[in-house]
Amino acid sequence: MIFTIVCAWIARFWVNDEFVGEQETLGQFLAHLFFLQGILGLDSISAGVWYVAIDWQLYSVLAVLLISFSSYQALIWFISIVAVSSLLYFNRSNQYEAYFIYFIGSYSLGVLAYLAKNFSDKRIRVLAKWMLIAIGVIIAISSLHEVWLRNFLAWFVAIALLVWGNAGYPSLSPTSSKAKAFVLRSIAWASPRSYSAFLIHFAFILLANTLYIASGMHAHESGVMAIGLMLGVVVCSTIAANYMYRWVEIPSAKLKI
């Protein structure tokens, strides 16, 4: 977030455009620190921070539910009811998009898929599977009134997690081709760094747009220049994500809170 603020400060020397945004305030910064910017109606400093705030809300709600219910049967019933409420009502109104209730439908489907796949008690696995099926039926029936494609997408992703959620990457053998080895190693390297790239990429997009406008490249209307800047953003984001992963994510994972 601080890196994005610095990049925006640099951009304002050359560009006065809406993509740079207004000067950040102390209140806005503090709201971001406590993941309250969406609830307070403040503009996001970076493109990825809304996701962090919502993810924190969803994780906190799930933690409270796990503590509150004495049995997983009751938890599954409650989560299923909340999921249906979110998918059919709250997720269809933009006024709730700063709150967990807007996203908890998809999140709950993921929880049910995990319980149906990996929980040790067979009764819990069976109940979670039946709830997934029931929610799918409810989504299908609700489509008779209005088709909401993202509900189908969320449900199919949950089913994919149920079926293939524990699948791993193909193992490498001495006879594996160099292309296969390169692809698998690239995926294994990039996967843990993808979240850092998601958080930091906006700052480089900001700088690339500033360079594109301030240098006059936009006057040429050149697709080659635009693609070159896009590739530069990808490279810079990847390099920065690598160091952010090594210097921030890995050390923070060792903290005991």
Q: Can you give the pLDDT at residue 18?
A: 75
Token pair of 110, please? 């993921």
Q: Can you give the pLDDT at residue 196?
A: 93
pLDDT of 125 higher than 90? yes
pLDDT of 50 higher than 90? no
Q: Can you give the pLDDT at residue 207?
A: 93
Q: Can you give the pLDDT at residue 15?
A: 85
Alpha helices in 215-254 (DSSP H): 223-244, 250-253
Give the pLDDT confidence of 143-192 residue by residue, as tens digits. 999 899 999 999 999 999 999 988 777 777 777 788 888 888 899 899 99
Q: pLDDT: is 132 or 52 the higher one?
A: 132
Instruction: Indicate the pTM of the whole model.
Output: 0.84
Token pair of 209, please? 């747009």
Burial grade of 41 (CB within 10 A; 0-12, 13-18, 19 or more): exposed
Q: Can you give the pLDDT at residue 149?
A: 94
Average pLDDT over residues 206-232: 90
Question: Is there a contact between 11 and 206 (Cβ–Cβ < 8 Å)?
Answer: yes
Q: Can you give the pLDDT at residue 152?
A: 96
Average pLDDT over residues 84-95: 94
Give the pLDDT confidence of 206-216 residue by residue, as tens digits. 999 999 988 88
Q: Can you give the pLDDT at residue 257?
A: 62
Rounded to 5 degrees, φ, ψ at 16 are -120, 85
Cα 167 to chain centroid distance, Å, stands at 21
Token pair of 172, please? 């490498």
Percent residues over pLDDT 70 in the chain: 100
Helix, strand, coil percentages, rounded to 5, for the chain: 75, 0, 25
Average pLDDT over residues 128-150: 95
Average pLDDT over residues 130-134: 98
